[in-house]
């Protein structure tokens, strides 16, 4: 009898123990009962100490689900996320393998198996036909070799011989491939070096060149973006060159359908949002994180509250893969790592950032230059625009905004969006993006507010040829505050990246009840665990909040 600890997709801070009469492997998917319900679990530990009477321990159930083992690399990754982000491995498992992904993975494996069975049947039938034709060809050639054949008989046999050879060649050319996928060849190139930070409008070309190199070597590539709209834009750029080697996985179902291909060692480039880090890569050689500074990489709703960028860095380290971090305005954490020598940085030339104009709302109000939510400068620019205009709203009331746009621009079609909608949907073809009140989009009380303001401007300039930002605090958005000055300020006040931040939040509301700035260094993990042991009731830890 064997005792094992099994992860279940539930919010538990302990790992249940089960018994099994047959040997089980770490990472194996098994069926278990918990609180009267059946779950697909993953063996986390073999040879566990049950700590109680074995008769009270439930058995592992026979599991017929066609799900592959969790790989050692995946288990190492899950263990890191659990330890670093102060959550249980059960919660990591629930996020890494949601039910929709498991269902899609099972369906894909079933489809692949049936395809292999049909291919094997077709190949066997073709091989039988080839064998029959070869036998008939041998008989014809034997008759040709016999002496005393008339010219007419020889001509007839030669014709028959040529006919059989043509049919054999045709069958051999169309012979289905073997049902079993051959093992993937060894990767020809290993990537070395520090993570590379690429900024500038031409960074996508750098992504493509690195991805093509990795795929040529037989490796796999992970490309992360903050949101589905970013996936679509990057896919439009990469697809013409990468073709079918590029898989976009912006849903759990698509991740499930791609899992089997990655486990088989297919050389693919996988493009998706942060959850793509949980795919079972077997030959990962390159990780690309686009717009690495974006706060959407941070999981906030439920544990594990991980940062997709930082998780991707750890994943690359486990696989020995190269890393490229791309950004229109790199985060201060990334700049700090460049200054400390942990990362390398280059500016990618090519492309052009859109033009930027800052409108001081306070100054416009003093000279009666505002008409509702619109300054005269913005209204004039909208009338002069030669293409679609996107308005980004914040505090504005939608009904009032609609009435004002109808009155000021009766003949123009303006699209109004929130910043979240812009990130989610994109704005293809926009000639101008106008932010009506930028101060509403950047929290005024956070130490990251000035950094977020500069990142917002850089993002908008990458999406349209012209950007106009209305604000009451122009110096926050016009570039007069540089990244270097912001880093100096952070250092003076001992803020991240010079320390590590852990927020203690109320689970029901997300309200911050405690804020801890922890010293970087070897004692960081023990300090974080101490916080976990002293959590007030009804709260949860948020490590490295965005």
> DSSP string spanning 204-224?
HHHHHHHHHHHHHTT-EEEEE
**Integer Cα distance of 213 and 83 in angstroms:** 34
Strand order through the sheet with 512-519: 512-519, 499-506, 539-543
What number of other Cβ atoms are within 10 A of residue 175's Cβ? 14
Return mean pLDDT, the chain.
90
Confidence of residue 80 (pLDDT cuts 50, 70, 90): very high
Whether pLDDT at 151 is above 90:
no
Provide the pLDDT for residue 391. Answer: 97
In the numeric block, which tokens belong to residue 247? 């898989």
Cα 151 from chain centre: 73
Torsion angle, alpha carbons of 535, 536, 539, 545, to 10: -50
Confidence of residue 109 (pLDDT cuts 50, 70, 90): confident
Whether pLDDT at 481 is above 60:
yes
Confidence of residue 63 (pLDDT cuts 50, 70, 90): low
Range 137-159 average pLDDT? 85
Provide the pLDDT for residue 76. Answer: 97
Q: What is the pLDDT of residues 344-378, one digit of tens each?
A: 999 887 767 889 999 999 999 999 999 999 999 99
Strand order through the sheet with 389-392: 355-360, 466-471, 432-435, 389-392, 414-417
Per DSSP, the three-state class of 78 is: helix
Whether pLDDT at 457 is above 90:
yes
Which residues make beta-bridge pairs with 42? 7, 29
Q: How many residues are there in the chain?
A: 546
Provide the pLDDT for residue 180. Answer: 53
Provide the pLDDT for residue 177. Answer: 61
Q: Which of 426, 83, 497 is nearest to 237 (CA)?
A: 426
Provide the pLDDT for residue 306. Answer: 97
Q: What is the pLDDT of residues 111-139, one digit of tens each?
A: 777 777 787 888 888 888 889 988 988 88
Name the DSSP letter for residue 200.
S
- Inter-CA distances, 457 with 328, 354, 358, 433, 444, Å: 9, 10, 10, 10, 16
Confidence of residue 287 (pLDDT cuts 50, 70, 90): very high
**Integer Cα distance of 65 and 68 in angstroms:** 9
Instruction: Kindly write down the DSSP assignment for every residue of 84-134, as one continuous string.
Output: HTT--HHHHHHHHS-HHHHHHHHHHHHHHHHHHHHHHHHHHHHHHHHHHHH
Using only C-alpha atoms, the chain has a radius of gyration, in whole angstroms, of 31
Per DSSP, the three-state class of 191 is: coil
Q: Which residues have CB under 8 Å from 462's CB, separation 6+?
A: 201, 328, 353, 354
- Inter-CA distances, 98 with 15, 16, 61, 93, 255, Å: 18, 19, 20, 8, 10
Which residues make beta-bridge pairs with 221? 269, 286
**Integer Cα distance of 162 and 137 in angstroms:** 9
In the numeric block, which tokens belong to residue 540? 């949860």
Torsion angle, alpha carbons of 177, 180, 186, 191, to 10: 100
Contact by Cβ (8 Å): 199, 348: yes
Q: What is the pLDDT of residues 235-280, one digit of tens each?
A: 999 999 999 999 999 888 889 889 989 998 999 999 999 999 999 9
Whether pLDDT at 186 is above 70:
no
Range 455-462 average pLDDT? 92
Contact by Cβ (8 Å): 60, 18: yes
Contact by Cβ (8 Å): 197, 338: yes
- Crossing angle of helices 151-173/99-145, nearest 10°? 170
Provide the pLDDT for residue 187. Answer: 59
Provide the pLDDT for residue 433. Answer: 97
Provide the pLDDT for residue 188. Answer: 55
Provide the pLDDT for residue 184. Answer: 55
Provide the pLDDT for residue 432. Answer: 97
Provide the pLDDT for residue 284. Answer: 97
Provide the pLDDT for residue 293. Answer: 95
Q: What is the pLDDT of residues 376-397, one digit of tens each?
A: 999 999 999 989 999 999 999 9
């Amino acid at each position: 009898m064997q005792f094992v600890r099994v992860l279940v997709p539930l919010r538990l801070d302990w790992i249940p123990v089960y018994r099994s009469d047959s040997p089980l492997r770490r990472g194996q998917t098994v069926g278990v009962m918990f609180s009267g319900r059946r779950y697909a679990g993953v063996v986390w530990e073999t040879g566990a100490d049950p700590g109680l009477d074995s008769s009270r321990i439930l058995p592992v159930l026979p599991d017929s689900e066609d799900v592959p083992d969790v790989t050692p690399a995946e288990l190492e990754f899950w263990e890191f996320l659990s330890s670093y982000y102060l959550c249980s491995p059960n919660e990591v498992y629930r996020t890494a393998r949601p039910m929709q992904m498991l269902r899609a993975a099972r369906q894909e494996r079933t489809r692949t198996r049936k395809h292999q069975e049909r291919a094997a049947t077709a190949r066997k039938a073709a091989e039988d036909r080839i064998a029959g034709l070869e036998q008939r060809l041998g008989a014809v050639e034997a008759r040709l070799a016999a002496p005393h054949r008339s010219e007419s008989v020889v001509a007839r046999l030669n014709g028959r011989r040529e006919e059989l050879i043509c049919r054999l060649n045709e069958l051999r050319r169309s012979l289905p491939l073997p049902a079993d996928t051959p093992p993937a060849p060894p990767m020809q190139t290993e990537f070395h070096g520090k993570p590379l930070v690429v900024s500038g409008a031409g960074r996508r070309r750098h992504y493509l060149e690195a991805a093509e190199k990795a795929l040529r070597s037989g490796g796999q590539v992970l490309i992360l973006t903050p949101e589905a709209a970013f996936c679509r834009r990057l896919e439009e750029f990469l697809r013409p060159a990468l073709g079918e080697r590029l898989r976009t996985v912006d849903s759990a179902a698509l991740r499930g359908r791609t899992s089997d291909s990655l486990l088989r060692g297919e050389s693919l480039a996988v493009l998706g949002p942060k959850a793509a880090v949980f795919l079972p890569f077997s030959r990962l050689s390159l990780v690309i994180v686009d717009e690495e500074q974006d706060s959407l990489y941070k999981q906030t709703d439920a544990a594990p509250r991980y940062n997709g960028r930082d998780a991707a860095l750890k994943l690359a380290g486990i696989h020995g893969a190269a890393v490229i971090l791309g950004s229109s305005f790199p985060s201060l954490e990334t700049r700090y790592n460049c200054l400390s020598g942990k990362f390398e940085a280059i500016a990618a030339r090519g492309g052009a950032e859109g033009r930027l104009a800052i409108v001081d709302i306070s100054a416009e109000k003093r000279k009666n230059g505002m008409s509702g939510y619109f300054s005269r400068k913005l209204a004039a620019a909208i009338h002069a625009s030669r293409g679609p205009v996107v308005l980004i709203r914040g505090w504005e009331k939608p009904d009032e905004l609609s009435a004002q746009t109808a009155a000021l621009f009766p003949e123009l079609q303006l699209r109004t969006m929130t910043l979240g909608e812009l990130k989610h949907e994109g704005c293809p073809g926009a000639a101008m993006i106008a932010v009506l009140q930028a101060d509403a989009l950047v929290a005024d009380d956070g130490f990251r507010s000035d950094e977020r303001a500069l990142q917002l401007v850089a993002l908008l300039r990458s999406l349209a040829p012209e950007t106009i930002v209305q604000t009451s605090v122009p110096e926050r958005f016009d570039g007069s505050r540089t990244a270097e000055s912001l880093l100096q300020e952070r250092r003076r006040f001992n803020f991240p990246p010079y320390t590590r931040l852990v927020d203690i939040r109320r689970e029901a509301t997300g309200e911050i009840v405690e804020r801890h700035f922890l010293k970087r260094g070897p004692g960081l993990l023990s300090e974080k665990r101490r916080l976990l042991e002293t959590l007030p009731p009804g709260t949860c830890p948020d490590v490295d909040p965005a």
